[in-house]
Structures are given as C-alpha cells and as structure tokens.
C-alpha cells in the first residue's frame, strides 16, 4: 500500500497492535509497582510461574495479543492518526520509564 502525502495511515494490523502495545506498556509498569506493594499478588505470581517476572511477562504477552485482536476486529485503532499513535506509544514509554524510576527511587 502506498500512502499519499496528505493522508498517512498505518497498516491494518499495525494500528491495532500499536495501540495494544501502548496499553500493555502502562499495564506492565502498573503491575510491577502493584506486586511490590501487595505481597499476596507477588506470591501468587511467583507460584504460578516459578518467578513473578515470568508470570508478569506472560500476562503482558497475553494482554498485548488479546487487545491487538480486539482492536483489529473493532477497527478502533485505524481511526487514529498515525502521528497520534506514535505520540501515544512515546508517551506510554516515557510514562512507564519515569514511573519505574520514580517508584524504585522512592521505594
């Protein structure tokens, strides 16, 4: 597909999975902080995957795929401008990075 200069668009699958990635990035950060505060969650995750980070990684992958397929089916992500999608991914990554640094610096 060739995009015309005035109407940039992401591909049929790249838009839904980019939106899914942005949400998964924030989820991963929130889960990392939550399991440090709530010991029963960390223990349950350690029990389920023999290591809490393993379970967290599996949860991230599952969330990414499920959300990507939902967004693919609903065509919701395709309505977003590509520049907005890129900004959303960058914003989610910065938020997650700053959040983790602040969490572990203050905790």
**Number of domains within the chain:** 1
- pLDDT, tens digit, 9 for 90 and up, residues 52-79: 999 999 999 999 999 999 999 998 887 8
Among candidate residues 15, 11, 59, the one with its CA nearest the CA of residue 34: 59
Percent of the chain at pLDDT exceeding 90: 74
**What does pLDDT average to over the chain?**
90
Query: CA-CA distance, 88 to 27, in Å (whole number)?
Result: 14
6 within a domain of the structure (yes/no): no
26 within a domain of the structure (yes/no): yes
Structural domain containing residue 44: 14-106
Identify the three-state secondary structure at position 25. helix
Q: What local confidence, expressed as pLDDT, does residue 78 receive?
A: 79
Query: CA-CA distance, 89 to 26, in Å (whole number)?
Result: 10
* pTM of the complete model: 0.86
């Amino acid at each position: 597909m060739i995009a015309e200069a005035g109407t940039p668009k992401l591909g049929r699958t790249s838009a839904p999975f980019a939106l899914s990635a942005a949400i998964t990035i924030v989820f991963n950060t929130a889960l990392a902080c939550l399991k440090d505060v709530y010991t029963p969650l960390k223990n349950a995750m350690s029990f389920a995957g023999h290591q809490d980070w393993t379970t967290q990684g599996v949860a991230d992958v599952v969330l990414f795929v499920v959300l990507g397929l939902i967004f693919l089916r609903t065509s919701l992500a395709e309505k977003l401008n590509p520049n907005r999608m890129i900004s959303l991914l960058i914003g989610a990554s910065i938020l997650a990075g700053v959040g983790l640094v602040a969490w572990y610096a203050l905790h």
